[in-house]
């Protein structure tokens, strides 16, 4: 049975990905900080879902969590680096430095630590897939995205650089770059303010967590000789802003 580790499986894309992978016969190690969420998923999804509770932003916790895996789960075929968050939408000169720090620690530090821990086994076995969840915010600027978008640009570029390093190893690397999708993402971004969190989704059609999970699963299930380098998806309702020009009058 193939083993996947999905970070951030306690909600959103990660949870949907865990569900889809299990339905296709994978065994999934689902990670997150909220133990009760992961336990509830384990109770629902059965023996093929293994909860692993730790904070990806704490290097020691990542190391201990990976070291705690039983032999049957320690050869990971698929790593989905999905855990991440945006905090705030203020312009850079008004943003909370603590929020910036937390985004960097989670979206960048967490992702590189998990990659560094899991990739050597893949290289040794000569097979494996790493899927990093980036964002359209990596590719296009928008007001208030400042550090969040920059962390995702890191994720996209790190994915390409990782692929360059893994050339010849048969290990695959993909950056998935989704646009507007309704999960708990916005609630987290706005500090639990449900009214503010609903604004991006008002009167429009957005991606579902299942849409993104389907992209993850599609990438993972490609024949072994195909590497999807990057995959950007948006709802049809979303596209690109022009360059705003500030006029003198």
107 binds ligand 8X3 (CB under 6 A): no
User: Which of the stretches 89-97, 177-185, 223-231, 239-247 binds ligand NDP when contact is defined by CB under 6 A?
Assistant: 177-185
* Residue 26, token pair as written in the block: 């994978």
137 binds ligand 8X3 (CB under 6 A): yes
**Contact residue for ligand NDP among 184, 210, 211, 232 (CB under 6 A):** 184
156 binds ligand 8X3 (CB under 6 A): no
148 counts as catalytic = yes
Window 176 to 215, contacts with ligand 8X3 (CB under 6 A): 179-180
The DSSP secondary structure of 152-202, one letter per residue, reads: HHHHHHHHHHHHHHTTTTTEEEEEEEE-SB-SSHHHHHTTT-HHHHHGGGT
DSSP state of 78: E
Burial class of residue 31 in the structure, from the number of CB atoms within 10 Å of its CB (0-12 exposed, 13-18 middle, 19+ buried): buried
Comparing CA positions, the residue from 96, 92, 87, 97 lying closest to residue 148 is: 87
Comparing CA positions, the residue from 13, 48, 12, 45 lying closest to residue 29 is: 48
Contact 91, 98 (CB under 8 A): no
Go through 66-80 and write b for each residue having 16 or more CB atoms within 10 A of its CB, e for each that does not: beebeeeeeebbbbb
Q: Which does 145 bind (CB under 5 to 8 A by kind): ligand NDP, ligand 8X3, none?
A: ligand 8X3
**Closer residue to ligand 8X3, CB minimum distance, 121 or 235:** 235
Q: Which does 3 bind (CB under 5 to 8 A by kind): ligand NDP, ligand 8X3, none?
A: none
Task: Choose, from 140, 142, 148, 201, the residue flagged as catalytic.
Answer: 148
14 binds ligand NDP (CB under 6 A): yes
145 binds ligand 8X3 (CB under 6 A): yes
Compute the distance between CA of residue 109 and CA of residue 112 in angstroms, rounded to an integer.
Answer: 5
Contact map string, positions 45 to 84, toward ligand NDP, x by CB under 6 A: ----------xxx------------------------xxx
Contact residues toward ligand NDP (CB under 6 A) are: 8-14, 32-34, 37, 55-57, 82-85, 106, 133, 135, 178, 180-181, 183-185, 188
């Amino acid at each position: 049975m193939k083993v996947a580790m999905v970070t951030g499986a306690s909600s959103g894309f990660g949870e949907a990905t865990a569900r889809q992978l299990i339905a296709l016969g994978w065994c999934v190690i689902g990670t997150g900080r909220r133990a009760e969420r992961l336990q509830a998923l384990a109770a629902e999804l059965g023996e093929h879902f293994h909860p692993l509770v730790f904070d990806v932003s704490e290097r020691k916790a990542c190391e201990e969590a990976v070291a705690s895996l039983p032999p049957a789960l320690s050869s990971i075929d698929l790593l989905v680096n999905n855990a991440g968050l945006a905090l705030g939408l203020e312009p850079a000169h008004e943003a909370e430095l603590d929020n910036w720090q937390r985004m960097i620690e989670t979206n960048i530090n967490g992702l590189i630590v998990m990659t560094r821990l899991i990739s050597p086994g893949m290289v040794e076995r000569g097979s494996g897939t790493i899927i990093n969840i980036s964002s359209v915010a990596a590719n296009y600027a928008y007001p208030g995205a400042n550090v969040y978008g920059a962390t995702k640009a890191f994720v996209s570029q790190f994915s390409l650089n990782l692929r360059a390093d893994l050339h010849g190893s048969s290990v695959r690397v993909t950056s998935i770059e989704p646009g507007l999708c309704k999960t708990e993402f916005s609630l987290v971004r706005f500090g639990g303010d449900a009214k503010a969190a609903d604004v991006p989704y008002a009167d429009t059609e957005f991606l579902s967590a299942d849409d993104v999970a389907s992209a993850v699963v599609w990438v993972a299930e490609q024949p072994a000789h195909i590497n999807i380098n990057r995959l950007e998806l948006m709802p049809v309702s979303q596209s690109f802003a022009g360059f705003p020009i500030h006029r003198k009058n």
